[in-house]
Structure 1
Amino acid sequence: MTGILVVVDPFSSGTVFARRAKELHGMRSVAVVTSDSLPAALTAHYAPDDFIGEVRFTTAEETARRVESLCGGRPDAVICGSEPGVEAYDALASHWGLRPNTGPSQVRRDKFLMQERLREAGIRHIRQHRAPDTEDAVAWCAGSGLREFVVKPVKSFATDGVFFCSGPEEVRAACERLFARSDFSGRPITDVLVQERVMGPEFVVDSVSLDGAHFVVDMFQYTKENVDGNPVYRAMTSVEPAEHPGIVAYVEQALTALGIGNGPAHSELVLTADGPVLIETGARMHGGQGPSLVDASSTHSLIDLALASRVAPDDFLRRTEVRPSLRRGVVECFLFAPVTGVVTANRVRAMCRDLDSYLYDTCDQVPGDRVDRTTDLITSYGRVVLANADPEALAQDTATVLDLDRRGAFIDVRPVG
C-alpha cells in the first residue's frame, strides 16, 4: 500500500515505525511531537529525516488540520511511538476515526485511574491512594494496615521516580523527593501515587490488538535490584508465553477493561500467590531494546505486528494465525555505573564478545564520556544482549556478565563532583 502514517512521539523504540512503514508498505510518515522537554535518553535516536515533516501537538483539531495541510489530506493511519504520546495519539485516532481505542484516554496513562478501572471491572488490582501532599500520603499509609509500599508519580514510566518503602517514614522521604521535582515528561509533580507493594516474580507482556481481539506476542521476566530504595532493572529474560496461560488470560482481561482494542500494548505485572496483578500498561510498544529482543528470539516480530495492526489489518490477521514461540532464549543485561563521572576505560565489548551467547551491546562510551550513577532504567549506562538456544549456556553467560558488572570490571569512572 501507499499512504501517510502519523507517528505520535516517535521516540525510544518508536523511532523504527517510519522506516519500517516505508520498507514494508511504501508509506510516508509525519511526526507529531507532544513536548520539547522530554529527556534526551528518550529522544536521542529520533530521526527527523525519516519524516516528511513534524507537527507540534496542541489540540486534536488544530494538530489534525496542520497534519492534513502538510500531507495534502487526511492520513491513512496513526500510531503511538512512545509513552508520553498516549493521550495525544488517542485524541488523533478518535478525531480521524482510525481504529481508536475506547473509553477515557486518561486510564491508559494515569496509573491511579488505571487501577481504578480494573477495580470497577472486577479485575485483580492493587490497593492505592492518590495523595496531593506528603502528609496525606503518610496518613493513608499509617491507616492502611500495610507494611510495604510503592510511591511514584501518577504518570511514571521507565521506573522514573519509583520508590519501594517500608513504613510511613520512608514514604515521607520518597514523597518529599518527588514533590520537589518534575516527572520524566517534564511536568511538575503535584500529586503522587501510593500503592501496596505486591510481591512475586515480575513479568512484562507485549501484545497487539485489532478490533478488540488481543494477541500476546512475547513475555519476559524481570530481575530488579534496589538502589537507594529505587527498583532498578538488572536483567530481562525471555519466557514462552504458552507456559503462562493464566498471565495471558489476565492481560487480555486488563486490556479490554482499559479500552485498548487496537495497536500495541506493554503490560507489567507481578505473579502473586493469588495470581497475576497488573502494575501498569502502556498503550504503546515496548520501549528501548525490547522489540529488537523479540525479533532476535521469537517467531513473530513485535515491530511488524504493531505496525500491521494500524496500517494493514489483513496482514496482521495472516501473521497471527499461528501463536508465537521462542526460537532461542534471550536476555538483556542492564549495566550499572557506581558513580557519576568521566569514563577512563571501557572493557564491556572486549570482555563479552567471546561469550557463546553474546549478541550485541550498546556500550560505546570512550574515555572522556560522562556517565551518571545508575539509579533507574534511564541511568543504566548500557546493555549487553545475550541469545542462545541452550538455556544452561544462556544462564551461565548471564551470570558472568552480571558478576563482572557488579565487581566493576567493565568500566572505570573518575568521579566528578
Structure 2
Amino acid sequence: MNHQLTPGDQVEEQATVAETLEVLRQNAACLPIAAVFCGFETGVMLTDVLAQHLQLRGNRPMARGDKQVQQDAVKAANLRSTRSVKGTDWNSVKAFAETEGFPIIIKPAESDGSYGVKLCHNACEAETHFRQLSWQLQGRRNRGVLLQEYLKGVQYVVDHVSRDGVHKTTMVWDCDRGPLNGGYVCFQQQCVAADTAVARQLIAYTRACLDAPSITEGATHAEVMMTETGPCLVEVNVRCHGARGVWMPVARAFAGYTQVDAYVDALGDEAAPFEQLPDVPPSGSKGSGLLLPLLAYHDGHVGSTHFEKVRELQSVLLVKECVHPGTRVEKTRDDLGVVGMCALWHRDPAVLASDVEAIREMDQKGSILVLHNEAR
C-alpha cells in the first residue's frame, strides 16, 4: 500500500514546513530544538514532517491519522479489523451500507473527540448524515467520510509510548461510550489493571496494530472494542490520550507516572530513561480512578456556573471547566461538546460510585450551569 503524500500535497507541505521551521527557529532563539511533540489530532502529520526535517526522532510521514488507512494496514497484517469503506460521494459507498446491514457507524475518516460520529439505523439516516459530513468537510485536504460496521462489545482505550518500535503500555481504560442527544459520547473512562486477562489480550493485540502501519515512535492511544470474537481496532490516535489532560492525575495515582512522562523519555537523546520504564503500568494500586466528562442536557446561554459543587465531592482530584458565563452551550453530542472534565480517585470504590452518581444527577438536572434566554 502506498499512502505517501501526493505531489500536489508535497509542494504545499514544503512551503508550510519552511514557514513553520522559520517561526520555530525564531522563537527558539539560540536554543536547540530537542524534540517535536504532537498535542492534538490535527498535528499528527505536521509532527512527523517537522521531526523529519529537523532530523529528530519521529515516524516516517504518512497518512496514519486516516482511519481507513489504519484498517487496511491491520487487515493486511491478518489481524481482526473493522469492515469499512471510505468515500466522498454517497453512490460510491451506498453498496456497503446495503450489504453490511444496520446499524452502522458513519464518521469523518480523520477526526477527533468523536466529532461527527453517528450510529445510523437506516438508509435514510445514513445518507443524510453522510451528505451532511461531506458538506462540512469541504475544503479540507482529506474530506473522506467513513462507513464502519457497528461493533458490539466493551470499548477500551489502550495508551502506549514507543521508541525504535518498542511499545510500552502506560494505561488501559475501560471506556463507556454510547448515544446521547443524537450524537455519540464517552460517559466515563476507568483504569484497568494491566495484569488482568482482558488487559493482557488488549495490550498484545494493540501492539500488533501499532506495528501494522509502522508506528514506531511517540505516543498513541488506541480505541479497541472487545467483541465476542476478541479485540477489534476502532482507531489509533497517534498522540497522547486526550480529554484536555484531565486524566493525568488519575494515571499518576494509579501507576505512579503518566503517558506524558513516558513520551518525554521516549523522544530524548538517551535511551536509558525509556528502557527503565516498566513494560506495563504496575498493578499494585490500592484505589480506583476514573475520568468523567460533565455533560449538557440543555441548550442555552450560561448565566453562572457551579463547578464548586463537583469539587466538594470526596473523590474529585481535578475539575477542568470548559464553559464560562456568557458563552452559549448546546446539548453534548460528542466529546468536544462537554461542559467540563473531572478526575476522580478514591481508595473506597463505594465513595467513588456515590460521587459519580451525584455528578450525573447534577448533569441531568442542569444544576452545574444556570442557563438563560432559551427554553429548557
Contact 2:86 2:146 in 1 (8 A): yes
Is 1:385 the counterpart of 2:318 in the alignment?
Answer: no
- Determine if the alignment matches structure 1 residue 333 to structure 2 residue 292: yes
- Specify the SS of the correspondent of 2:112: coil
Per the TM alignment, residue 213 of structure 1 is displaced from its structure 2 partner at its CA by 0.8
Q: Counterpart of 1:36?
A: none
CA distance in 1, matches of 2:311, 2:144: 46
Q: Aligned pair in 2 of structure 1 residues 98, 232: CA closer, same or farther (>3 Å)? A: same
Q: Measured at CA, do residues 178 and 227 of structure 1 come closer, stay the same or move farther in structure 2, by a change above 3 Å? A: same
Code of the residue aligned with 1:316 in structure 2: it is F
What residue in structure 2 maps to residue 220 of structure 1?
173
SS at structure 2 position matched to 1:373: coil
Distance 1:406 1:309, change over 3 A: same
Normalised to the residue count of structure 2, the TM-score between the two structures is: 0.86
Contact 1:99 1:211 in 2 (8 A): no
Q: Sort the Cα spacing of 1:322 and 1:147 in 2 relative to 1 into closer, same or farther, 3 A.
A: closer
Matched, 1:98 2:56: yes
What's 1:373 paired with? 331
Q: Give the Cα–Cα distance (whole angstroms) in 1 for the partners of residues 344 and 33 of structure 2.
A: 39
Whether the aligned pair in 2 keeps the contact of 1:226 and 1:232 (CA below 8 Å) is: yes
Distance 1:353 1:291, change over 3 A: closer
Residues 1:368 and 1:93: Cα distance change in structure 2 (over 3 Å): closer
| One-letter amino acid matched to 2:255 | S
| One of 103, 126, 129 as aligned partner of 2:82 | 126
Structure 1 counterpart of 2:265, one-letter code = A
Q: Please give the per-residue CA displacement for 1:180-200, whole angstroms capped at 9, x wherever unaligned.
A: 2138xx837743110101111
Could you tell me how far apart the structure 2 residues matched to 1:323 and 1:298 are? Answer: 6
Alignment of 1:67-86 (within 5 A): 67-68=24-25, 71-72=29-30, 75-86=33-44
Question: After alignment, is 147-156 or 327-336 more displaced?
Answer: 327-336
Q: Aligned pair in 2 of structure 1 residues 86, 365: CA closer, same or farther (>3 Å)? A: closer
| Number of the residue aligned with 1:109 | 65
Q: Which residue of 1 aligns with 2:250?
A: 293
Q: What's the secondary structure of 2:308's corresponding residue?
A: helix
Letter in 2 for 1:298: A
Residues 224-260 of structure 1 deviation map (CA, whole Å, 9 limit, x = unaligned)? 2313442112111111122110001001111111211
Give a deviation string over 1:254-306, Cα, whole Å, max 9, x none.
Answer: 11112111111111111101111111111111122233432243222221111
Query: Aligned residue for 1:157?
Result: 112
Cα distance in 1 for residues equivalent to 2:188 and 2:329:
20
AA paired with 2:250?
Answer: L
Change (3 A) 1:135 1:339: farther
CA distance in structure 1 between the partners assigned to 2:221 and 2:241 by the alignment? 5
Amino acid of the residue matched to residue 84 of structure 2?
Q
Number of equivalences: 356
Q: How does 1:58-69 map to 2 (within 5 A)?
A: 58-60=15-17, 63-64=20-21, 67-68=24-25
Question: Pairwise CA RMSD of aligned residues?
Answer: 2.6
Match of 2:194 among 241, 255, 264: 241
Counterpart pick for 1:136 among 87, 92, 111: 92
Asked if the contact 2:191–2:290 (Cα under 8 Å) also holds between the matched residues in 1, the reply is yes
Answer with 232-241 or 70-79: which moved more: 70-79
8 Å contact from structure 2 (residues 106, 129) kept in 1: yes
Which residue in 1 is equivalent to 2:313? 355
Could you tell me which residue of structure 1 aligns to residue 207 of structure 2? Answer: 252
User: What TM-score comes out, normalization by structure 1 length?
Assistant: 0.78
CA distance in 1, matches of 2:95, 2:373: 40
Does the 8 A contact of 1:237 with 1:332 survive in 2?
A: yes
From 131, 155, 158, the counterpart of 1:202:
155
* Residue segments in structure 2 that go unaligned for 5+ positions in a row: 1-12
